[in-house]
Amino acid sequence: MSTTPSLSELENSSEFIARHIGIDAADEALMLQAVRASSRRELIDAIVPRSIARSQPMDIPAPVTEAAALAELKAIAAKNKIFKSYIGQGYYGTHTPGVILRNILENPAWYTAYTPYQAEISQGRMEALVNFQTMIMDLTAMPMANASMLDEATAAAEAMTLALRVSKSKSTTLFVDSEVLPQTLAVLQTRAEPLGLSIKLCQGDEALNEDSFAVLLQYPGVSGVVRDDREWIKAYKAKGGIVIMAADLLALTLLTPPGELGADIAVGSTQRFGMPMGNGGPHAAYMACRDEHKRSMPGRMVGVSVDAHGNPAYRLALQTREQHIRREKATSNICTAQVLPAVVASMYAVYHGPKGLKRIAQRVAAFTAVLARGLQAMGFSVANGSAFDTLTIATGDATNSIAACALSTGANLRFVSNNSLSVSLDETTTRADVQALWDFFASAGKAAPSFSDMEAGSTTLLPSTLERTSSYLAHPVFNTHHSETGMLRYLRRLSDFDLALDRSMIPLGSCTMKLNATSEMMPITWPEFANIHPFCPADQRAGYAELDVQLRTWLCQATGYADISLQPNAGSQGEYAGMLAIRRFHAARGESHRNICLIPSSAHGTNPASATMVGMKVVVTACDAQGNVDLADLKAKCEQHSANLAAVMITYPSTHGVFETSVKDLCALVHSHGGRVYVDGANMNALVGLAAPGEFGGDVSHLNLHKTFCIPHGGGGPGVGPVCVVADLVPYLPGASEGAVSAAPLGNAAVLPISWMYCRMMGAEGLKSATEVAILSANYISVRLKDHYPTLYTSLPQDGKPGRVAHECILDLRPLKESSGGVNGVSAEDVTKRLMDYGFHAPTLSFPVPGTLMVEPTESETIDELDRFINAMIAIREEIAKVEQGVWPQDNNPLHNAPHTAAALLGEAWDKPYSRELAAFPVPGLKQSKYWVPVGRIDNVYGDRHLFCSCVPQAQ
């Protein structure tokens, strides 16, 4: 008898869960059978140690449908008030060109991509990043630039430590010009303290009066002033100091650039190149430096190399500077950066070209000059004689009434002091805006002038000595794609080069590449979230405040911690903030001498790099043969360093893909020596709903919302790395000014709606199911591949059941190299390249164990996609067997020659010992749907020897 479901069943509010989780009940039954578990419950109970199981389910509201969640979020967003912003201070109105908004920011081909470590399948976004680097190098007139920094304030902090590394001065003082943005100063103060550096404010050439290793200038200054400092810069540099300039890119289209003024390092934000203010982020910051400092520069850099066919190809350059190789000696802890916003900014320059950018800048400068003239005609004095886009106006007793008048008509001015206000104009400014601004000031009793009167005879406020004479953006890429059709096709061409989640699974262990649902993405470009200045009055950000509170509450539920800050804008920054909290905690108890941080050898490179940045000394501890933290070694080192033990940093479940049963003992041991436990939360996708680090002994964790909570990777950022702490560490969370770790109080605020939507549509039960299915899928892959590629670390097989893994598994390929010929045998890297021919992005290569592949399928993939991957891996194993058997030579086989481009396959000559068909279509499905890799295998060594980080001349 069929029964009609009840109305409330028909209204089923959890339909999204089945969209997010790719496995349905029938698939699950098949997979459970394959892994020899009778139920999901039995499987999970056998994997997650009982000792750490949650005491209670998460208290997160029951899930609602996509439509209902969007409606609920819209109501929250409506509590933000969109005011016209004249605040400036590093954040400006901008028009995101529609073709860029829709085809990059809202396009999964761009936003679901991973960091371009697999260079051959990342050529599109790397070309965009080379364009970005070229744009920065040209506009700043510096010979080197990286591919993005997290925000202007942290970029300035990274510049400070770069300067410290390269300066010949012995001083530990950094001079900061009083014109520097206040949020930059706040982050510098946070970063300087643990390193024993002191920050002194100065006014321009006062920096000459005392020893210092570097000086930071703002160009133009926060007041709007445009100062020509080149004379004293010469004298300063002659004393051995490093000159850092934080410079506004739009202004640089008109002003003599930092490189020509003598700067050694330039930093700044690219926000006003097309990225909405978004309450503070995400935006790409930039860093450029002199050639001799490039090997000390932090952050990723894209360079040009050659592929196996001798053609130019892009890949990440000089990776040996970075945390994943250099660990505690790295130039910085940065991992996830701001690739998607950097792509937007670069394309803004591609679309407008040098002439278009200059026209925008000239318009801003011209409006500023007219505005100033009008204000002066009304009797106001402008404090900064020179200006590009900002005026600081002496407003005396009228300050409050003028600001109130602006507010009452929906505009924000910047409150500078009790008797002065400042106004910043931008790309969006119109005549009507200037007239309205005069009207605000007229509220003080003075008549507003007419625009045409003021326009006539207004002269530029840009100092004539600083007029830019050098050209920029001469490369054809910035002078070609100016029609919308041309731009659309350029963007499509680049995204077609790349393999992102919109084409296939990206089974990267530790990186958690899961669904970024469209409904989660839609809110981020809603004007109510996009058009908010991070320093506007709090009541205009009430929607963000509510989002912040709700999301923190849910994340506290998921982690078991007492409180959370969403300010850190990447996992690395969350680590930094968390380690800083531990440092401050010890200091507050008079135990500043505690500076030893124990880190297992399997840790992610950001861990030792972050510990070093808070002044701790890293001591590495061993792992045992099962991949667990070697407790005996840890115990010995705790005892050895007991008096000075500050912290232990672990990852749980470990980067070896196993749940260590002794984690509670480990935490207790560390606590007994007075240390605190940092649990790296990158693997939370194995824990949400099942176990909570704040309950089983962790004191601090960071989350990666761009892993576990569905913010897309964006090709290498943006990210959000909330820092979570137990109760006694809450006072040490990052603040808005004191202890700030990011420029904006809520960090990359504009992408938080993604994680909010995910939690709201999944609810506690859905989130828990996601975790369980992620674990099931990893075990399914491990078991299905075990006869072809053994999993390196599993729990012990029991009752005839296979050993278990957590949400990822490490496939051991090391024996294959031996069996296929030793040093010249097939390597794990060969397999990653051959997977491209099969249409896959490889799993994580050689982390945490060299010569292995770490596979993390996530819950979002369907069984068909898991099987497609498994079948590809098995087919590749059969190819390896042919090398083992000598059928194919070690240096001429489909793995060695992978990936195969169409050009190579269709060339006149084909002298390989295997067919073209096998090269291109090794499994049947590929004939219907084939991803063609645009370049052959890239030579990394060549690229680092011939470092070239800007657009190839004439390359089109």
Ligand X SMILES: *Cc1c(COP(=O)(O)O)cnc(C)c1O
Q: Considering the rule CB under 6 A, would residue 330 count as an interface residue with ligand X? A: no
d(CA 788, CA 869): 13
Q: Considering the rule CB under 6 A, would residue 742 count as an interface residue with ligand X? A: no
d(CA 298, CA 144): 12
Q: Considering the rule CB under 6 A, would residue 719 count as an interface residue with ligand X? A: yes
Residue in the shown chain whose Cβ atom is closest to ligand X: 571
Q: How far is the CB of 414 from ligand X (least distance, A)?
A: 32
For residue 600, say if its preceding peptide bond is cis, omega within 30 degrees of 0.
no
Q: Measured in whole angstroms, how far is the alpha carbon of residue 94 from the centre of its chain?
A: 22
Q: Considering the rule CB under 6 A, would residue 802 count as an interface residue with ligand X? A: no
Amino acid at 196: G
Q: Considering the rule CB under 6 A, would residue 721 count as an interface residue with ligand X? A: yes
d(CA 614, CA 594): 12
CA-to-CA separations, 55 to 348, 383, 562, 686, 718, in angstroms, rounded: 51, 61, 15, 17, 34
Please check whether residue 517 is in contact with residue 511, taking contact to mean a CB–CB distance below 8 angstroms: no
Q: How far is the CB of 446 from ligand X (least distance, A)?
A: 52
Q: Which of 250, 335, 494, 935 binds ligand X (CB under 6 A)?
A: 335
d(CA 518, CA 521): 5
Q: Which of 429, 567, 651, 685 binds ligand X (CB under 6 A)?
A: 651
User: Structure tokens of 932?
Assistant: 């063609």
> Could you say which residues in the range 499-518 bind ligand X, by CB under 6 A?
510
Please check whether residue 778 is in contact with residue 804, taking contact to mean a CB–CB distance below 8 angstroms: no
Q: How far is the CB of 704 from ligand X (least distance, A)?
A: 5
SS3 state of residue 941 = helix
Q: Considering the rule CB under 6 A, would residue 680 count as an interface residue with ligand X? A: yes
Q: Considering the rule CB under 6 A, would residue 613 count as an interface residue with ligand X? A: no
d(CA 246, CA 177): 11
Nearer to ligand X, 150 or 207 (CB): 150
Q: Which of 257, 274, 534, 571 binds ligand X (CB under 6 A)?
A: 571
Q: Which of 682, 741, 774, 919 binds ligand X (CB under 6 A)?
A: 682
Q: How far is the CB of 604 from ligand X (least distance, A)?
A: 3
φ and ψ of 215, to 5 deg: -130, 140
Q: How far is the CB of 721 from ligand X (least distance, A)?
A: 5
Q: How far is the CB of 702 from ligand X (least distance, A)?
A: 8
Q: Which of 572, 748, 860, 893 binds ligand X (CB under 6 A)?
A: 572
Nearer to ligand X, 570 or 933 (CB): 570
DSSP track, 316-383:
EE-GGGSHHHHGGGSS----S--HHHHHHHHHHHHHHHHHHHHHHHHHHHHHHHHHHHHHHHTT-EES
Q: Considering the rule CB under 6 A, would residue 183 count as an interface residue with ligand X? A: no
For residue 282, say if its preceding peptide bond is cis, omega within 30 degrees of 0.
yes
> Could you say which residues in the range 690-709 bind ligand X, by CB under 6 A?
704
Nearest to 247 by CA among 255, 239, 235: 255
Nearer to ligand X, 43 or 724 (CB): 724
Q: How far is the CB of 610 from ligand X (least distance, A)?
A: 9
DSSP state of 79: T
User: Structure tokens of 221?
Assistant: 């200054």
Q: How far is the CB of 742 from ligand X (least distance, A)?
A: 13
Nearer to ligand X, 120 or 680 (CB): 680
Q: How far is the CB of 407 from ligand X (least distance, A)?
A: 38
DSSP track, 666-686:
HHHHHHHTT-EEEEEGGGGGG
Q: Considering the rule CB under 6 A, would residue 606 count as an interface residue with ligand X? A: yes
Q: How far is the CB of 205 from ligand X (least distance, A)?
A: 39
d(CA 318, CA 336): 16
Binding segment toward ligand X, per CB under 6 A, in 12-20, 568-576, 658-666, 884-892 = 568-576
Q: Which of 154, 253, 279, 336 binds ligand X (CB under 6 A)?
A: 336
Q: How far is the CB of 651 from ligand X (least distance, A)?
A: 5
Nearer to ligand X, 354 or 694 (CB): 694
Q: Are strands 84-85 and 411-412 parallel, antiparallel or unpaired?
A: parallel
DSSP track, 605-650:
THHHHHHHHTTPEEEEE-B-TTSSB-HHHHHHHHHHTGGGEEEEEE
Q: How far is the CB of 154 from ligand X (least distance, A)?
A: 12
Q: Considering the rule CB under 6 A, would residue 374 count as an interface residue with ligand X? A: no
Binding segment toward ligand X, per CB under 6 A, in 436-444, 564-572, 907-915, 942-950 = 564-572
Interface with ligand X (CB under 6 A), residue total 15
Q: Considering the rule CB under 6 A, would residue 604 count as an interface residue with ligand X? A: yes
Q: Which residues contribute to the site for ligand X (CB under 6 A)?
A: 335-336, 510, 570-572, 604, 606, 651, 655, 680, 682, 704, 719, 721
